Structure 1
Amino acid sequence: MNPSRRCLITAACLGTCPAMARGEPLAAGEAGREGAVEIDVSALAEGELRVTQWKSQPVWILRRSPQMLEQLQAPDLLSRLADPASALEPEGRTPAYARNAHRSIKPEFFVGLAVCPHAGCVPVARLKPGPNPGRPDNWPGGFACQCHFATFDLAGRVFRDKPTDRNIEVPRHTYLAPTTIVIGRDGNAG
């Protein structure tokens, strides 16, 4: 893809990031360009999504509810995914500690680059299961790219027959405390 076209698409799609769309400044420590970024997620409620920045890219942090975690294991969902176990992921796109059913260190927290692997667009959150704008009635909740219609579940796993067969990238991350995530650094994955 032409680099200027990619920049235009990314810029256009960034308006779907709630904090950026409202013009809100990012919290202190969230504008990390190259280094690690420390994020306190203690106030994040179950089912709530937070968008932050790391290396000039939007990053999702989703605190999944028990119902959301249960949905990730549903046989109906698994049969609709292109790569449910991240087995096809190139080296480095998904750290070893996130190659599991929930694609995370701690099941309740999903950390993923909010960038569609197809063309670099920013998918929007459609977390609520069931009928959603432009989604089927059996939508399990997840993320949807408005530019090319790639869809991803609540673990960033791509659905079959979409413009991409790659899952959302999981950045390197670790925990300093139970609710303090450091994006951009590996550490104790336990």
Structure 2
Amino acid sequence: MADNGVNKGRRRFLVGATTVVGTVGAVGVAVPFVASWQPSARARAAGAPVEADISKLDVGQQMTVEWRGKPVWVVHRSDEMIERTRDVDPSYLVDPDSEVPQQPAYATGPLRAIRPEISVLVGICTHLGCSPLYRPEPDAAEMGDNWPGGYFCPCHGSRFDLAGRVFVNVPAPTNLVVPPHRYDSDDIIIVGEDEETA
């Protein structure tokens, strides 16, 4: 059979080039299509609930989980820390009974918690959004006399007790926010969801 002047090398090149261009085009179409299945930045910012395992959180320790792009602190308070928090003189605090609605109804009172030994707070100062430092030791020299332990904002000097209640005469106007949360078990906290919304 005669090849009638067909260049087989050229034919293979054209078939190969067409295959490569077709593959690149298919990938170019598929990538945006598959990416559209991912949650949008807006949906991620809205924040789905997050799970925190507190089984290894020792007494006195603090752990941080991220919810809605914000740090959420979970502290395992000791009996002594609970007592010190309950004993803070109300006249030292702006909102000692947590009457300003910055927490769910189940997290009011002096401890602002579902379980007294576990504190859950958004780790952002209510003044200008800095992240306060965890200073749980009572009467720490740098914190002054009668310091019950809590949080100190290094940006402008705001102070909060171990329940996130703000002290008087500091720039922060309100307590630290308690996010919605619930216990899935003794060791698992779901931040961003409470019993009503679960």
TM-score band, normalised by the shorter chain? 0.7 to 0.9
The CA deviation string for residues 123-171 of structure 1, in whole angstroms up to 9 with x for no partner, is 01111111242x1122110001000111000000000111123000000
State how far apart, in whole Å, the 1-side matches of 2:92 and 2:62 are: 24
Gaps of 5+ in 2: 1-43
TM-score, structure 2 as length reference: 0.73
In the TM superposition, residue 109 of structure 1 has moved relative to its aligned partner by: 0.5
1:10-49 matches, within 5 Å, as: 33=45, 34-49=47-62
- The structure with higher relative contact order (CA 8 Å, sep 6+) is 1
Match of 1:21 in 2: none
Bigger fraction of residues in helix: 2
Secondary structure of residue in 1 paired with 2:184: strand
Task: List structure 1 segments (4+ residues) > 6 angstroms apart after TM superposition.
Answer: none
Backbone CA RMSD of aligned residues? 1.4
State how far apart, in whole Å, the 1-side matches of 2:105 and 2:190 are: 17
Match of 2:139 in 1: 130
Gaps of 5+ in 1: 1-31
1:83 matched to 2:95: yes
TM-score, structure 1 as length reference: 0.76
**Equivalent of residue 53 in structure 1, options 66, 72, 82:** 66
State how far apart, in whole Å, the 1-side matches of 2:141 and 2:176 are: 21
Secondary structure of residue in 1 paired with 2:140: coil
Largest Rg, 1 or 2: 2
1:1-190 matches, within 5 Å, as: 33=45, 34-74=47-87, 76-87=88-99, 89-90=100-101, 93-133=102-142, 135-187=143-195
State how far apart, in whole Å, the 2-side matches of 1:78 and 1:62 are: 22
Q: Share of identical aligned residues, percent?
A: 41
